[in-house]
Amino acid sequence: MVMGKGIFITLEGIDFSGKSTQARYLVNFLKRNNVQHLFLREPGGTVLSERIRRILLSKGEIDICAKSELWLYLAARSQIVEEKIAPALKQGKIVVCDRFYDSTTAYQSYGRGLDLDFVLKANLFAADNLKPDLTLLFDLPEKKAFERKQRLNRTKDRLENEKLAFFRKIRKGYLHLAENNKRRIKVINADGPKEKVRDEMLEITVSFLKRHRIRIRM
Ligand SMILES: Nc1ncnc2c1ncn2[C@@H]1O[C@H](COP(=O)(O)OP(=O)(O)OP(=O)(O)O)[C@@H](O)[C@H]1O
Ligand SMILES: [Mg+2]
């Protein structure tokens, strides 16, 4: 690995596609292999970003229009990039982030209809032009995601209350993004047992790291 240049890996996908589950597997894998890493989730990861997260999740109680929502996500992201992600990458760490700017593109543009070119530019501006090296996209039909949600029946924030059609749009948005960023975004079939999804993710990640001269055995 080149000194001062870590690797930035993001996990993406619609609600309940299994990002956080797979992020835990990935982080455990890095730990077991003594790889220097930092695990973060978005929005969050700094004092400011966690406060913004709380505002975003209280959307059922307070009105947040689509544009306000965009700025809040971007504000949370600017802070985590500046405070956490950029410094860790400088130290040569592997940074794993549960959601990053592709979420904003998928939800705020493909989902809520904000101008795509503008959102893409705003994403780069907010992230100080920092791009993920590898994005793992967990692709799951929205109906399957809803089945998981119903099975779990956990407390619902407003995002999770949106209708199937909304998630269909977001899923399609993610797949468009993957189509336009083939080198960076790897689509993983998330419709299967957790361990099967994990194995596909680790295979993709290990071969990516190998190309960057980081050798880990599976
Ligand atoms: N492959 C899988 N098969 C069945 N259930 C799964 C699978 N992966 C995760 N789950 C379950 O689905 C639920 C959602 O998983 P998880 O929290 O990892 O998704 P997420 O993408 O992080 O969701 P969110 O966007 O809401 O944070 C959890 O109850 C989890 O145990
Ligand atoms: Mg999650």
Q: In what order do the strands lie in the sheet with 134-139?
A: 37-41, 94-98, 7-12, 134-139, 185-189
pLDDT 10s digit of each residue in the chain, 218 long?
444 689 999 999 999 999 999 999 999 999 999 999 999 999 999 999 999 999 999 988 999 999 999 999 999 999 999 999 999 999 999 999 999 999 999 999 999 999 999 999 999 999 999 999 999 999 999 999 988 988 887 655 555 555 789 999 999 999 999 999 999 999 999 999 999 999 999 999 999 999 998 888 77
**Amino acid making up residue 3:** M
In a 13 Å sphere around the CA of 178, the CA atoms on its Cβ side amount to 18
CA of 11 to the centre of ligand 2 (A): 10
CA of 173 from ligand 1 middle (Å) equals 20
Please report, for the chain, the start and end positions of each structural domain, with discontinuous segments joined by +.
Answer: 7-211
Q: Which of 14, 15, 16 to mutate to test the pocket of ligand 1 (most atoms within 8 A of CB)?
A: 16
Half-sphere exposure of 54 (CA within 13 A, CB side): 5
Instruction: Write down the residue that tokens 């809520």 correspond to.
Output: 112
Sequential DSSP letters for 29-77 = HHHHTT--EEEEESS-SSHHHHHHHHHHHTTTTS---HHHHHHHHHHHH
17 CB under 6 A from ligand 1? Answer: yes
Q: Which atom of ligand 1 is nearest to the CA of 149?
A: 13
Backbone angles phi, psi at 71, to 5 degrees: -65, -35
CA distance 117 to 105: 9
Q: Which of 117, 103, 98 is nearest to 159 (CA)?
A: 103
Question: What pLDDT score does 215 carry?
Answer: 81
H or E element: which one contains 104? helix 101-104
Cα of 156 vs centre of ligand 1, distance in Å, is 14
Q: How far does the centroid of ligand 2 lie from the alpha carbon of residue 103, in Å?
A: 12
Question: Using a 6 Å cutoff on CB, does residue 194 contact ligand 1?
Answer: yes
- CATH architecture of the domain 7-211 equals 3-Layer(aba) Sandwich (3.40)
Cα angle 173, 175, 180; round to 5: 95
- Nearest in space to 192 (alpha carbons), one of 18, 13, 31: 18
Q: Rounded CA gap, 22 and 62, in Å?
A: 32
> Cα separation of 197 and 209, whole Å?
18
Q: Is the CB of 62 under 6 A from ligand 1?
A: no
Q: Is 15 in the pocket of ligand 1 (CB under 6 A)?
A: yes
What pLDDT sits at residue 147? 87
Q: How far apart are CA 213 and CA 217, in angstroms?
A: 13
Q: How far is the CA of 75 from the centre of ligand 1 (A)?
A: 26
Closest CA to 93 of 161, 23, 4: 4
Ligand 1 neighbourhood includes 45 CB (under 6 angstroms): no
